[in-house]
Amino acid sequence: MSRDATPDPYADPLVFGQRLQILRVRRGMTRDQLGGLLGRSGSWVKSIETGRLKTPRLEVILRIAELLRVRELSELTGDQSVRVELFDGPGHPRLAAVKAAVDAFPPSARHEAPPPAHLRARLAHAWAARHSAPHHREVIGALLPDLIRDAQLAVRQADGAPHRRAAQAVLAEVYSLCQFFVAYQPDPALLWRVAERGLVAAQESEDPHAIGVAAWLAAQAHRDAGLAHFDAADAVNLETLAFLEPLLPDAPDDVTAIAGALTFEAGYTAARRGETGTAWRYWDRARVMADQLPVDYYHPVTSFSRAIMGAHAVTVAVELRQGGESVRQAAAADAVMIPSRPRRARHRIEEARGYHLDGQPDAALATLNRAHEAAPETIRYNGYAKRIVLEEAEAKSPARRRRASELAVKLGLLAA
């Protein structure tokens, strides 16, 4: 290896501090930025990285893992004996079939593509199944391969520009559904392939709603790639909002909803940066847009609605590390039922993060159990939930350790 090459953080005998420095740099985060997010100084981070301070406690290691979005805890600790996935979940059994459908590009078609109305009906069924099934990845993983192939075929066989644009809009939404399936699985290249193809199909469709949904998902992919990609997330988000804004006075509900979802996402990214005023300002704007929708409206892709704004407030407070505010927002939001099982589970996880920040670990574990009841596959792929469970499995309280360990077994973090 040349002197200029980046060291491999997975190669022994690197110690914790060296791994921390490599992974931090790869995420585009300075020592001051990481220290600030940990409630420490940049010099403290430097002391850990250079070995002047010993390896921190487990709760600090787990918080660092969360901030750096490491795939497995062993990437940070170097201990290969305990393989704990964090922000990459376990590979789903149906991942290979979905990947094969995404990657396939047959030069000729052996059968006629289904009519667009038929594809739309199947897509609507798939979204409904995703929202209602506790094991939603299993359900949509079974539906996606044929949907992907048939939607691609519809584009290739489209007769004339209007039919091709309509087929591209369907294909873009199929890729959106696919991105929900491949997210947080151990194939980041596939995630980006799906996100980029969704953007291309949406642009070709010239459909405002399809463009908005593809941008919403692309912005999330950029943000989840780490702090160095936050500017890219904002660029996709805000450019798409600028495109949609002139359409909003006469827009149908789905376009208003995707604009509202994009507005909240801008606030979410600001909260991840620690920009309190900007984050809440975008949340306020999104709430105004939600209030323009019918009371019972619920966007099938983003879950944007009046009902979701309370959950979004919890997320903003959590990302800003405002424990007390998180708990207050959770109490206000709890009376509203979120129709989607996976989105309800995600909300419970955000509530649990708020309770944990506020020094209420027992409430956090109870709330994570409610998340598991709503959608086991959501919590199993969620790194924030795993961090709380692993930390409390080391708690001093025997009763709390037992509850956390029982949940860790359910999540596959510990053997039964």
> Does 82 fall in a domain?
no
For residues 113-130, give the mean pLDDT.
92
- Domain span at residue 387 reads 335-416
Domain identity same for 362 and 395:
yes
Distance CA 206, CA 252 (A): 16
Distance CA 96, CA 92 (A): 8
> Does 256 fall in a domain?
no
DSSP assignment, residue 144? H
Query: What is the band of 76 on the pLDDT scale with cuts at 50, 70, 90?
Result: confident
Radius of gyration of the chain (CA): 22
Q: What is the pLDDT of residue 181?
A: 96
> Does 4 fall in a domain?
no
Within 10 Å of residue 354's Cβ, how many Cβ atoms?
A: 27
Domain identity same for 110 and 195:
yes
Residue that is last in its domain, among 206, 235, 250 = 206
Q: What is the pLDDT of residue 59?
A: 83
Distance CA 172, CA 326 (A): 35
Provide the token pair at 18: 């060296």
Does pLDDT of 82 surpass 80?
no
Does pLDDT of 47 surpass 60?
yes
Query: What is the band of 10 on the pLDDT scale with cuts at 50, 70, 90?
Result: very low
Three-state SS letters, 267-306 = HHHHHHHCCHHHHHHHHHHHHHHHHCCCCCCCCCCCCCCC
Domain identity same for 60 and 113:
no
Question: At a CB cut-off of 8 Å and minimum separation 6, what does 397 contact?
Answer: none
Domain identity same for 68 and 109:
no
Domain identity same for 21 and 97:
no
Does pLDDT of 158 surpass 80?
yes
Within 10 Å of residue 220's Cβ, how many Cβ atoms?
A: 19
Over residues 211-257, the pLDDT tens digits come to 999 999 999 999 988 888 999 999 999 999 999 999 999 999 999 99
> Does 340 fall in a domain?
yes
Provide the token pair at 88: 């990459």
Distance CA 211, CA 129 (A): 23
Query: What is the band of 129 on the pLDDT scale with cuts at 50, 70, 90?
Result: very high
> Does 275 fall in a domain?
no
For residues 132-141, give the mean pLDDT.
94
The Cα-based distances of 150 to 114, 180, 197, 365 in angstroms read 7, 19, 15, 43
Domain identity same for 127 and 185:
yes
Does pLDDT of 141 surpass 50?
yes
Domain identity same for 73 and 95:
no
Domain identity same for 95 and 51:
no
Distance CA 114, CA 341 (A): 30
The identity of residue 281, as a single letter, is R
Distance CA 381, CA 15 (A): 28
Domain identity same for 35 and 94:
no
* 3-class secondary-structure state, position 29: coil
> Does 306 fall in a domain?
no
Handedness of CA 147, 151, 152, 153 (dihedral sign): positive
Q: What is the pLDDT of residue 3?
A: 45
Closest C-alpha to 243, from 229, 232, 260, 259? 259
CB distance 167 to 156 below 8 Å:
no
Residues in the chain: 416
For residues 30-57, give the mean pLDDT.
90
Phi, psi of 71 (to 5 degrees): -75, -45
Domain identity same for 49 and 132:
no
Supply the CATH number for residue 43's domain: 1.10.260.40
> Does 262 fall in a domain?
no
Over residues 297-338, the pLDDT tens digits come to 999 999 999 999 999 999 999 999 999 999 999 998 876 789
| Whole-number percent of the chain with pLDDT over 90 | 71
Residue that is last in its domain, among 206, 222, 245 = 206
Does pLDDT of 393 surpass 80?
yes
Number of domains comprising the chain: 3
Domain identity same for 100 and 186:
yes
| Whole-number percent of the chain with pLDDT over 70 | 94
Distance CA 25, CA 248 (A): 41
DSSP assignment, residue 396? S
* 3-class secondary-structure state, position 277: helix
Provide the token pair at 69: 């979005």
> Does 129 fall in a domain?
yes
Domain identity same for 153 and 187:
yes
